[in-house]
Structure 1
């Protein structure tokens, strides 16, 4: 069991899907927007998802119309979605929205988001902040911790075996979003760094 929820994005092969589910990930994120790098088809996603159990299935989207997102939510059985842009109309499924670091730290922005997002995301929303560097200065850590105390804040990006426990203790995020990878060849994948992060988070 992990000390905090973990999602893994960029799932595009069976090795990743089965490994991450077996290591205790709460959810697998499939890039279903064809405009994003390394997108997978709904057919491939369904095939991979059929080999795992006990994990949430999420789709990742950028500029797709809400109607298309809703269609894929239904077709692929998605429980949540990860969005790169604020949708124009409400989404009925729980969502994670990527925001830049500066926006996540702004008090005024947080209050504005809380009011605006309650109607856009009636099923609930969390914010995802991507870290550009594995090292954060003390001020940024404190500001992220304050933001995490106000709304569900997920951290992605430069999450490493060396910083994951420090981020967990100082920021206390809602969870971490790790990145999957490509197979070296079918059935062969190097999980060294991903394994080290999972092991650091084991209770």
Structure 2
């Protein structure tokens, strides 16, 4: 399965999400790997899930502390945080770093933050709660000409392809679903968006 853009799915804590993402062509899935997180994935659970998956990269999500033994998560390819205080330490661990930014203020402030962190951060994930306006899309387009950006939120299955065409981001970010029982997941819009960006095999 091929998709029209790179996709990162965060907050994965079960094999069902992992297998679905791998089968649909998602490039990267993220696991919360600090014990304080409500969806914490232990080293043993991570190894069990990762052993079933092929052709997909793994991210370790860290939001409160950089104290993690990556040797216990040896298949981790990328690190993710939203905490500026952790950037320096995480950037020294030898893994590409994705920095998540919740967009609440104007985008000029976001640009300043990205400029300050760009030497240590591989990619920025910009998270929106409100639907992306035409003006915001134009501003994001200027950002993607300078930074590698993942867009999270602000779109749905009906608007995602227009967003991709207008902004040309590095990719998009989605969240995994809760496993309400073994093998049964609540994907909360993830499936619809991924199906909307499936590449036409005849292109």
Name 2:181's counterpart in structure 1.
185
Look up the match of 2:82. Answer: 84
Alignment partner, residue 54 of structure 1: 55
- SS class of match (1:197): helix
Q: Give 3-state SS (helix, strand or coil) of 1:150's partner.
A: coil
Aligned to 1:95: 97
Structure 2 counterpart of 1:151, from 147, 153, 156 = 147
1:172, distance to aligned residue in structure 2 (A): 1.3
Question: For structure 1, which runs of at least 5 residues remain unmatched after alignment?
Answer: none
Match of residue 165, structure 1, among 155, 161, 164: 161
Residue in structure 1 matched with residue 13 of structure 2 by the alignment:
12
Q: Structure 2: 5+ residue runs without aligned partners? A: none
Tell me if the contact between 2:161 and 2:197 (Cα under 8 Å) persists in the aligned partners: yes
Equivalences, count: 192
Matched-pair contact (CA < 8 Å) for 2:5–2:170? yes
Question: Which residue is 1:21 aligned to?
Answer: 22
**3-state DSSP class of the match of 2:145?**
helix
Matched residue, 1:136: 132
Preserved contact between residue 130 and residue 155 of structure 1 (Cα < 8 Å): yes
So what's the TM-score if we normalise by structure 1?
0.85
Q: Normalized against structure 2, the TM-score is what?
A: 0.85
Q: Distance in 2 between matches of 1:59 and 1:112?
A: 24
Report how far residue 184 of structure 1 moved: 2.6
Q: For the residues of structure 1 that align with 2:115 and 2:188, how far apart are their CA atoms?
A: 41
In the alignment, the residues of structure 1 paired with residue 148 and residue 157 of structure 2 have an alpha-carbon distance, to the nearest angstrom, of: 22
- RMSD between aligned alpha carbons? 2.2
Higher helix proportion (structure 1 or 2):
1
